[in-house]
Amino acid sequence: MDVRVSTGGRLHFGFTNLSLSHERLYGGLGVALREPRTVVAAAPAEGVHCDDADARDYARRAVSLLDVSGAKVSVERRLPGHVGVGSGTQLALATLSAIGRAHGVEPSVRDLAPELGRGGRSGVGVATFERGGFVHDAGHPTARFTTSRPADGDWTVPPVAAAHTVPEHWRFLLVLPALDPGRNGEAEDASMRAVVERADPTLSNRIAGVLMRQVLPAIATGNAETFGSAVEEVGRLNGAWYADEQGGTYRPPVGQLVATLSETTGVFGAGQSSWGPAVYGITDETNADRAREAGEEALAEAGVDGRVQVVRGRNRGAVVETAENHD
């Protein structure tokens, strides 16, 4: 059976705790986006056939995990890599899901994500693939933290602690500056270890207050203005943890972009998604055009090329189509 799996990107606003002084570590906050997207198609085959190197690696692991004969896999669209919108996790899970469905199997992406090297710290990418919307995951018990990266498969994806539908009138400004990719792989692991080992626990306490008194009530009531200012604060406090690793509260010159957007009427909050360089802004349908203009102006003022989109939230998981659906 020929199968196509489509999934959108995600924004990652930061973690609720990076200090070893507290009971649970990490605890990601994020939201699913309708665009940009990754689309992976698969059909049964003998062995693995795929022109995309990253997807080919995931496909080989998926074929082994699912104990199937093989697959012909093609990546029809893909998220920009290592910019902060979740490209690696979405590609891995889309490939796994497409191969499984092509063979008549519905794989548990949550159970198998660790075997693909995904979901080790944040559970946001897995949860948004599964269900979309706004997600706050529960993180991991701090006692499990090790200075060495656990082997693939030696962790579980953090459970979802809170999830909400993204209001239909909300919009997300996405600014993708043409800068070097954000940290990933071994460099990201090393940076995160360094951050965790010296993280100030008082920042976690402040983030907890913002989460409980502002972020969650705002998403529950559909208040985009409060939500925007709250996730901006979460990102700024996370940036204080990361400052030594990335050269400031935000990686340069992302801080200039964030500052410009934060001062724009109609952009209710701005920040850096994950390690960047992706920059987000929270807005609504009434202010969408002004927000887009502000994104383009921010890039021009910073002297940086890039791409600007205003997109909706995605309130469903990945879409699976069989040949019968899309012929």
How is domain 3-326 classified at the CATH fold level? Ribosomal Protein S5; domain 2 (3.30.230)
pLDDT at position 58 over 60: yes
pLDDT at position 303 over 90: yes
Least confident of 19-23, 84-88, 90-94, 242-246: 242-246
In the structure, what pLDDT confidence band is assigned to residue 182 with cuts at 50, 70 and 90? low
pLDDT at position 71 over 90: yes
Q: For residues 285 and 288, what is the distance between their CA atoms, to the nearest angstrom? A: 5
Residue 113, Cβ density class (10 Å: 0-12 exposed, 13-18 middle, ≥19 buried): buried
Residue 240 pLDDT: 94
Mean pLDDT of the region 20-46: 97
Residue 180, Cβ density class (10 Å: 0-12 exposed, 13-18 middle, ≥19 buried): exposed
290 Ramachandran zone, left/alpha/beta (phi>0; psi -120 to 50):
alpha
DSSP 8-state code for residue 150:
P
Condensed to tens digits (0 to 9), the pLDDT of residues 5-32 reads 999 999 999 999 999 999 999 999 999 9
pTM, to two decimals: 0.94
Bridge-partner residues for 30, per DSSP?
A: 12, 135
Residue 29, classed as helix, strand or coil, is strand
Q: Are strands 160-164 and 140-141 parallel, antiparallel or unpaired?
A: unpaired
Mean pLDDT of the chain: 95
Residue 153 pLDDT: 82
In the structure, what pLDDT confidence band is assigned to residue 183 with cuts at 50, 70 and 90? low
In the structure, what pLDDT confidence band is assigned to residue 327 with cuts at 50, 70 and 90? very low
Q: For residues 171 and 273, what is the distance between their CA atoms, to the nearest angstrom? A: 15
